[in-house]
Structure 1
Amino acid sequence: MSDLMFARSQMAMSLAFHIVFAVVGIGMPALMVIAEWRWLKTRDAVQLELAKRWAKGTAILFAVGAVSGTVLSFELGLLWPTFMEHAGAVIGMPFSLEGFAFFTEAIFLGIYLYAWKRIPPRAHFAAGVVVAFSGALSGAFVVCANAWMNAPAGFEMVNGQVTNVDPLAAMFNAAAPSQIVHMTLAAYAATGFAVAGIHAFALWRGTPHRAFHRAALQIALTIGLPTALLQPLSGDWSARDVAKRQPVKLAAMEGHLRTGPAAFVIGGWPNETTLTHTGAIEIPGALSLLLHGDAQAVVPGVDSVPAEDRPPLGIVHLAFQIMIACGTIMAALSLFGAYRWWQRRRERGVALPDDRAFLMALMLASPLGFIALEAGWTVTEVGRQPWIVQGVFRTADAVTPMPGLGVTFALFTALYLGLAVAVVFLLWRQILKTGVTQTPIDLTSELPIPSRMTGAHPAPRG
């Protein structure tokens, strides 16, 4: 491979690894806050146990995410120095604010983990809310920077130099709202389904600790099901924005190869030379109808730009199809879950945690959110090629001239593989092993319960 391909591959691997932890950093704090809120309302020790276990998991994943995020920030400067030279002043604000949100999350996560017996219950709960909010805000700031790469704004190019920089206009670019909503919903849906699948497995195999896993499953579904239902709506919004600002990316996503009325293409593999499909199912006019309300509306195809300005068609189309398939399955499962919940309330039938068919479906669907997430980011990044900033900077012009990038690619691959093994081991040992094989501890003996929720905990003894 060329150094450019090694640089792109290394960045792709780093982003694919880090995005998992970034998403969990958004979703997991919400789960632990809901569990603590339910404990404050009911004084059910199982809810307290859930909050503490999920806090441990959040801390482990947050630490690994901090390492991978730090490496990623160095890679931006090492692999893409020309990009950082031109774009740093324009998108420095969202990156700086992301750092502020990150440190806020870290500080309050420390308070949440170690101040159970040292501050009043409401103050402790508020610390968890700050962790959840700052995690979501951190993700939003990063997405603002990525959205700017798709819809550049807030600067002018004069003789190849960036001038008249407006950081606010750059951060609040036209693509940011749809991408932020789509990414945030994806984070909650992916985390909710993954956690639900773990506890669904425990219930399906007949664990003796049903109360613990039922409570966990209920909270996970509270996060996962509604966001999975909303995700197709946000996806439609995002796709319409892409159609307006990056028509060639949309054409590659949808497999619309030649300009004219656009069919909805299912499956298949596009031929980049002949601009034809192999093995695709097409619904004539459906994409034109979806975008413009007219089945005969003309939609720009891949052929609307020269070959050197086209993204890799096969990868983008396949990734988009995978994302749509995963999202559709999750939304359908959410509808089924909502129907079964409504049916139970009406007929007093079998509850969702006792519905073995539903539990099996959750187990099978548990990785789909993260698969869709990885596929969606592939569409976003590969679909923008050959531009690192749409219509402004080409990726080939932004890569470092330093040779030997294959060595750094191998080293960073080994680093990420090591981190992956470490995080799986820590989660299994600290969370999954104890959560599945042992009876939940009654932490009320460790944490004195005040007579009023607003009262302070007694001072720790010793």
Structure 2
Amino acid sequence: MSPADFVPHLSEAASAADPAGLLPARQQMALSLGWHIVLACFGVAFPAMIFVMHLRGIRRRDPVALELAKRWAKVSAVLFAVGVVSGTVLSFEMGLLWPGLMGTFGDVLGLPFAFEGLAFFLEAIFLGIYLYGWGRMPQRLHLLMVLPMAVTGVIGTYCVIAVNAWMNAPTGFRILDGEVVDVRPWSVLFNGHAALQFAHMWVAAYMVVGFSIAGVYAVGMLRGRRDTHHRLGFTVPFVFATVAAVAQPFAGHILGAGLDERQPAKLAAFELAETTESPAPLRIGGVYTDGEVTGSLDIPYLGSLLARNSPSAPVPGLDTIPAEDHPPVNLTHWAFQTMIGIGILLMLAVLLYWFARWRGRDLLERRWFLRFAAIGGPLAVVALEAGWIATEVGRQPWVVHGVMRTVDAAGNHAAGLWWMLAASTIGYGAMTVGAVVVLRSMARRWRTGESDLPSPYGPRSALAADGNGEAER
């Protein structure tokens, strides 16, 4: 049960006209979150892949694996540095763009945001230790420095996801005479849906990073670099991506259980259900206009089975929900189906690869598979973005579901926000170009044989001093 079940909505006094700051605030958050979430995935999943690669290098005395671990750590540092900027911007945007939300629920959301900031600083510390520890620390102690990076990345992401889960199913407070009282921060941090929503995001992060890193080495193999370096660089992240791609449909299905009770409007938009049907079909494609669905491919019974775990259970229709509480139906539906479609495609691709390998066929020798692997990363990113669009747009018109509408969270001043959006667009574009230029420069130097790129402001390592890697072994 949520506060919306037993307290007045904070949105009851909302005016008919949208505040001037609503549109620029939405555009700014869409840009910032859509850009930052990809970098956040690398903070969650990349350390685990670095750990596995480094561990392999130590156990098997494999110089290729050690070199890959070192290179990946430097790539991670570049992405972390860029993510620092976008994450800092987001922390300011919450207050600047949504004064109604933070002014009302600041005490409710303070604890998870505080823990997220602490986790971020700890991650930065251990990333620095790991980067500068090559050749300066005992090899096993050095390897263990990756673990705090992985743990803090997970904790920070969980805290942010917990806030989003709370916005979808608010708890941990009461509203008395229009004021938020009886705040229970721990209930917010560990609300009933945080773990499931985090699991879905956590698996998605491994898909994004696994397919992206594997795709880099697939491109190298397409260009004729079929050495051990590229094969190992492909295989380790692809194994992570495989597990994530197979697990993700189950994680998503479990997360969606009970959505008909928590957010029936979102479920109706997902399923493009204009009326309540029992049994409900699965609608693929289609457009909702003037209260009717056109152009969809309907598969009988499957909608009820997937949404309600029963071939005959009813799926609530949009006709049962007040029009003012409808989300943008078509955008929500298409984003949801894009996420599902790409997820199924990637799952089938990894199953095909391992089935072929079990039958003694190496698909890495097939250019068509390498081409698909090269676009696996972008496809996973599109699925990630589509999933967040479905989640966030499907919650509208609520910023805190059932309690506060988005129009009540925005401010009334727009001029400065439009300038901020323009500056952010330019800034994010410049950071994207800068990151690509730096990473391409690093890759080019590595290909020419520069195995130990200099680290700024750091003392010269023993590894660089002896030039043969004996300090690490």
Q: Is the structural similarity TM-score above 0.5?
A: yes
1:241 deviation in Å?
4.0
Q: Any residues of structure 2 matched to 1:188-199 within 5 Å, and which?
A: 188-199=206-217
For residues 447 and 287 of structure 1, what CA distance do their matches in structure 2 show?
Answer: 61
- In structure 2, the partner of 1:229 is 246
Matched with 1:358 is: 369
Contiguous gaps of at least 5 residues in structure 2: 1-17, 453-462
> Partners of 2:436 and 2:229 in 1: how far apart?
22
Identify the match of residue 277 of structure 1 among 293, 296, 305: 293
Q: CA shift at 1:93, angstroms?
A: 1.3
Report the secondary structure of 2:395's partner residue: coil
Contact 1:268 1:279 survives alignment (8 Å): yes
Contact 2:24 2:414 in 1 (8 A): no
Segments of structure 1 that go 5 or more residues without pairing to the other structure are 345-349, 451-456
In the TM superposition, residue 84 of structure 1 has moved relative to its aligned partner by 0.6
Q: Which residue of 2 aligns with 1:8?
A: 26
**What is the RMSD of the two structures over their aligned residues, measured on CA atoms?**
1.9
Matched residues in 1 for 2:216 and 2:386: separation? 22
**Is 1:420 aligned to residue 420 of structure 2?**
no
Q: 1:113 to 1:282 in 2, by over 3 A?
A: same
Q: Deviations over 1:402-459 (max 9, x none)?
A: 23132222122111111111111111112x3235x43473879547546xxxxxx79x
**Residue type of the partner of 1:15?**
L
Q: Residue 440 and residue 403 in structure 1: after superposition, are their counterparts in 2 closer, same or farther (change >3 A)?
A: closer
Q: 1:334 matched to which residue of 2? A: 350
Counterpart among 268, 282, 288 of residue 264 in structure 1: 282
Structure 2 matches for 1:298-377, cutoff 5 A? 298-344=314-360, 350-377=361-388
Q: 1:388 to 1:250 in 2, by over 3 A?
A: same
Distance 2:308 2:406 in 1: 32
User: Partner of 1:177 in structure 2?
Assistant: 195
Q: Secondary structure at the match of 1:192?
A: helix
Q: 2:359 is paired with a residue of what secondary structure?
A: helix
List structure 1 runs of 4+ shifted beyond 4 angstroms: 442-445
Deviations 1:236-263 (A, max 9, x none): 1112143331111111112112122221
What is the alpha-carbon distance in structure 1 between the residues aligned to residue 52 and residue 467 of structure 2? 21
Counterpart pick for 1:60 among 75, 78, 82: 78
Kept in 2: contact 1:117–1:447 (CA 8 A): no
Residue-by-residue CA offset, 1:257-278 (whole Å, 9 max, x unaligned)? 212222101011211xx22122
SS in 2 for 1:260: coil
Structure 2 distance, partners of 1:131, 1:362, is 28
Tell me which residue corresponds to 1:454: none
Q: What residue number does 2:448 align with?
A: 438
The answer to whether the 8 Å contact 1:182/1:234 transfers is: yes
Return the alpha-carbon distance in structure 1 between the equivalents of residues 37 and 451 of structure 2.
33
- The correspondence of residues 11-90 of structure 1 with structure 2, limited to 5 A, is 11-90=29-108
Q: Deviations over 1:310-363 (max 9, x none)?
A: 11011111111111111011110111122123223xxxxx43433434322212
1:99-143 alpha-carbon deviations (Å, 9 max, x no partner): 111111100000000011222111111101211221122111110
**1:231–1:294 distance in 2 versus 1, CA, 3 Å:** closer
Instruction: Report what 1:211 is aligned to.
Output: 228
1:142-191 CA-partner distances (Å, limit 9, x unpaired): 10111000010111111111111111111111211210100000000111
| Residue 382, structure 1, aligned to residue 397, structure 2 | no
Match of 1:407 among 385, 403, 419: 419
Matched, 1:94 2:94: no
1:362-395 deviations in Å (ceiling 9; x for gaps): 1232311111010011111111111000001111
Tell me the amino acid that sits aligned with residue 429 of structure 1.
S
The answer on whether the counterparts of 1:144 and 1:172 sit within 8 Å (CA) in structure 2 is: yes
How many residue pairs match? The answer is 442
Distance (Å, rounded) in 2 between the aligned partners of 1:293 and 1:178:
17
Which whole-Å CA distance do the structure 2 matches of 1:142 and 1:16 have between them?
Answer: 14
Cα distance, 1:82 vs. partner? Answer: 1.3
Q: Is 2:171 the partner of 1:159? A: no
Amino acid at match of 1:292: R
Please tell me whether the aligned partners of residues 249 and 311 of structure 1 are also in contact (alpha carbons under 8 angstroms). yes
Structure 2 CA distance, aligned partners of 1:440 and 1:226?
A: 34
- Give the Cα separation in 2 of the matches to 1:402 and 1:446: 60
Q: TM-score, normalising length from structure 1?
A: 0.91
- C-alpha distance in structure 2 between counterparts of 1:175 and 1:158, whole Å: 25
Superposition TM-score, scaled by structure 2 size: 0.89
Distance in 2 between residues matched to 1:267 and 1:173, nearest whole Å: 34
Residue 10 of structure 2 aligns with which residue? Answer: none
- Could you tell me how far apart the structure 2 residues matched to 1:53 and 1:378 are? 33
Task: Tell me if the contact between 1:179 and 1:238 (Cα under 8 Å) persists in the aligned partners.
Answer: yes
- Answer yes or no: is the 8 Å Cα contact 2:21–2:97 preserved in 1: no
User: Could you tell me how far apart the structure 2 residues matched to 1:152 and 1:182 are?
Assistant: 19
Counterpart among 142, 152, 162 of residue 144 in structure 1: 162
Change over 3 Å in CA distance of 1:47–1:252 after alignment to 2: same
Counterparts of 2:441 and 2:324 in 1: how far apart (Å)? 50
Distance 2:204 2:33 in 1: 16
Q: Which residue of 2 aligns with 1:453?
A: none
- Are 1:36 and 1:47, in contact at CA under 8 Å, matched by a contact in 2? yes
Local SS of the residue matching 1:296: coil
| Pair 434,12 (structure 1): closer, same or farther in 2 beyond 3 Å | same
Q: Give, as a single letter, the amino acid of the residue that structure 2 aligns with 1:17.
A: W
